[in-house]
Structure 1
Amino acid sequence: MSDQVNDPVPGPADVPATVPGCDPADGPDGAGGDSPSPAGWPVVSIVVPAHDEEAVIAGGLARLLDGSAPGEFDVVVVANACSDRTARAARRPGVRVLETPVPGKAHALRLGDAACRTFPRLYLDADVELDAASVRALVAAAARPGVLACAPVPDWDLAGTGLVARRVHRVHDRLVAPLRGLAGAGAYLLTGRGHARVFPMPDVISDDGWVHGSFAPHERVTVPEARTLVRPAPTVAAHLNRRVRVRLGNRQLAALGRSAAEGRLRLGSLAALVRGRRVSPLDAACYLAVLLMDRVLTRVRARRGGRVQWGTDGGSRSRPAR
């Protein structure tokens, strides 16, 4: 089975090979296609890699497109090695659906990226929600001089999350928030010049970590006006699976010469949270217990090869977007 595109709107064959404002080489000072798109063309391309996301993809696309003008967003969903009806659930006006039997999020991102029609380009996890106003805020931020990449701020939907998992998430979020950068929000946007730094993306576990490490601090910004709705791991087991992948991904990035977004979390930072009453001693105890299990599992997984093809877990997919 080859990669297939289901295109309810005009397909790539209907797009001229060169569109002003769409070539990475276009724009003043090599700005990478950051100039305004011609009238009638999309202002941003959006790639949504989706692996078995039937439960959430339709709701996420509805939130993304509601309030957008027809043709304002060029949306490409890449149904990647799905065993469910993700592709069918994603089909709606204004969305092109590409199906591939090849697993791997990086592959899905490359495939969707190749089908994009304009710059800047937004890469959005299928189980994360982002509305049209937030997309516009990201596009506006990317137009600022010197900005090559930007990301929204995550809001957390803790409905259905277990008590211990909620305590662990509370601590972890407060520890990593100052270090998050372009990672952890489930979305990031690249200008044309930024895109040239990131793509072609290698087969990395942590795509957002790769993106974060591609830019100096002054070249990447977090946009408070843009918010994603993210559903964290609902159980301790799901949290551990996710954290093991993060650690393995960070090791891979280090080997490739890219710094991890999180940096190194220190126990002193945890103690400061407790002293400042931002987390409780019980929260901290739960976090430390799970952290120990996390490190042990990472070592075991690394010794077994540590291969991960898809950078997410199925925890959120059992909770359809509301």
Structure 2
Amino acid sequence: MDPIASVVIPAHEEEAGIAAGLAQLLSGARPGEFEVVVVANACTDRTAEVARGAGVRVLETPEPGKANALRLGDAACRAFPRLYLDADVELTCESARALVAALAEPGVLACAPTPGWDLDGAGPVARRLHRVHDALVAPSRGLAGVGCYALSEEGHARVFPLPDVISDDGWAHASFAPEERRSVAGARTRVRPARSVAAHLRRRVRVRLGNRQLAELGRPVTAQPLRLGMLAALVRQRRAGPLDAACFLAVLLVDRVASRLQRNRQVSWGRDTSSRPAVGA
């Protein structure tokens, strides 16, 4: 049978988890229902071997970088729609079908599942942080941050060729008007967020860099700003406890201080080097 969709999975050093992810995707799928292409990029482990053992097509490249891996996998695909799935994120066959069905609706060019957070092993503050953050962003969630997005053929033309961006899902999200993209309630991913506050703060640095890059490329990610009143509403509605809110605010404050210090260092470096001659001048 012809595949109903192609699935591109960029994978870097994912030997430990990629078999489980592929098993979730393919369990219950009809033979040939999905064209799955795993792109093992700059791997030194058995990622490619494990993926081949699952019966999917595998490409290997020595060049690191998720954007390059996505381009390689995308060029190898034959079918539309196309799903782009992180190797450490689980998506079931039923959820993949729900994404394909959503893209068949008039006017929908891109869609994404809703995330289910796997908090096993996360510290107590990180758990509270993720629960509050998820409740705050859920009403305006789009294509970014859920580990998977799907594009129709028309939507694909908006996103590809994909530039060398840190945030490919942010690029995809910013390529569509709100009415053209959809968060599909009937499709879910299983995502493992940062297990500690320190890991979360490191990830936030990368998120800021990615957002800045998108803005420079003319596709800024627009999102509803998180306001204190929104957090208070969660507490009043008993969707978050006072301790949850306090943990979220404390980590948010640390993140903002770190962001300001980072900007100050960049400005200072720019002033210090602006008068220096270029190399070779």
* TM-score (ref. length: structure 2): 0.90
Aligned equivalents of 1:57, 1:301: Cα separation in 2:
35
Give secondary structure in 2 for the equivalent of 1:127: coil
1:213 correspondence with 2:174 = yes
Partners of 1:298 and 1:114 in 2: CA distance: 37
Q: Where in structure 2 are the equivalents of 1:283-294 lying within 5 Å?
A: 283-294=244-255
Q: Does 1:267 align with 2:228?
A: yes
**Pairing 1:87–2:61 present:** no
- Given residue 146 of structure 2, which amino acid in structure 1 is its aligned partner? A
CA contact under 8 A between 2:19 and 2:54: conserved in structure 1?
A: no
Equivalent position to 2:124, from 163, 174, 199: 163
Residue 299 and residue 77 in structure 1: after superposition, are their counterparts in 2 closer, same or farther (change >3 A)?
farther
1:73 is matched with which residue: 25, 28, 34?
A: 34
1:304/1:64 CA distance change after superposition, 3 Å: farther
- The amino acid that maps onto 1:242 is R
Task: Tell me if the contact between 1:179 and 1:261 (Cα under 8 Å) persists in the aligned partners.
Answer: no
User: How far off is 1:272 after superposition?
Assistant: 1.8
How much is the aligned-residue C-alpha RMSD, in angstroms? 1.7
In the alignment, is residue 247 of structure 1 matched against residue 187 of structure 2? no
Instruction: State the alpha-carbon separation in 2 of the partners of residues 250 and 263 from structure 1.
Output: 14
Matched residues, number: 266
Measured in 1, the distance between the counterparts of 2:166 and 2:68 equals: 11
C-alpha spacing 1:205/1:296, structure 2 compared with 1 (3 Å)? farther
User: Structure 2 residue aligned with 1:185, among 139, 143, 146?
Assistant: 146
Percentage of pairs with the same residue: 72
Q: CA deviation at 1:277?
A: 2.2
Native 8 Å contact 1:125 1:187 kept in 2: yes
In the TM superposition, residue 295 of structure 1 has moved relative to its aligned partner by: 2.4
Instruction: Give the counterpart letter for 1:65 in structure 2.
Output: L
Match runs of 1:293-312 below 5 Å: 293-301=254-262, 303=265
Which secondary structure state, in structure 1, belongs to the residue aligned with residue 53 of structure 2?
coil
Note the 1:1-12 alignment, pairs <5 A.
none
Aligned counterpart, 2:18: 57
Alpha-carbon distance between aligned partners in 2 of 1:161 and 1:89, rounded to the nearest angstrom: 27
Q: 1:243 is paired with a residue of what secondary structure? A: helix
**Distance of aligned partners of 1:174 and 1:74 in 2 relative to their CA distance in 1, 3 Å threshold:** same
Q: Which of 58, 67, 75 in structure 2 is aligned with 1:106?
A: 67
Write the distance in 1 (CA, Å) between the matches of 2:204 and 2:179.
28
2:41–2:61 contact (8 Å) kept in structure 1: yes
- Give 1:264 shift: 2.2
Distance in 2 of aligned mates of 1:90 and 1:301: 39
1:230 matched to 2:230? The reply is: no
Letter in 2 for 1:69: R
- For structure 1, the residue ranges without an aligned partner over 5 or more in a row are 1-39, 306-322
- Paired residues of 1:71 and 1:94 also in contact (CA < 8 A): no
Report the Cα distance in structure 2 between the residues aligned to 1:50 and 1:299, rounded to whole angstroms: 33
CA gap of 1:205–1:301, structure 2 versus 1, over 3 A, is farther
> Comparing 96-105 with 117-126, which one deviates more in the overlay?
96-105
Q: Of 74, 81, 90, which aligns to 1:120?
A: 81
Structure-1 separation of matches of 2:201 and 2:45:
25
1:266-312 residue CA offsets vs partner (Å, 9 max, x unmatched): 2221222222222122111111221122223334555469xxxxxxx
CA contact under 8 A between 1:181 and 1:261: conserved in structure 2? no
Give the superposition deviation at 1:261: 5.3
Contact 2:8-2:39 within 8 A present in 1 as well: yes
On the 8 A contact 2:3/2:32 being kept in 1, the answer is yes
Q: Distance in 1 between matches of 2:79 and 2:261?
A: 43
Aligned-partner SS, 1:91: helix
* Structure 2 unmatched runs, 5+: 268-281
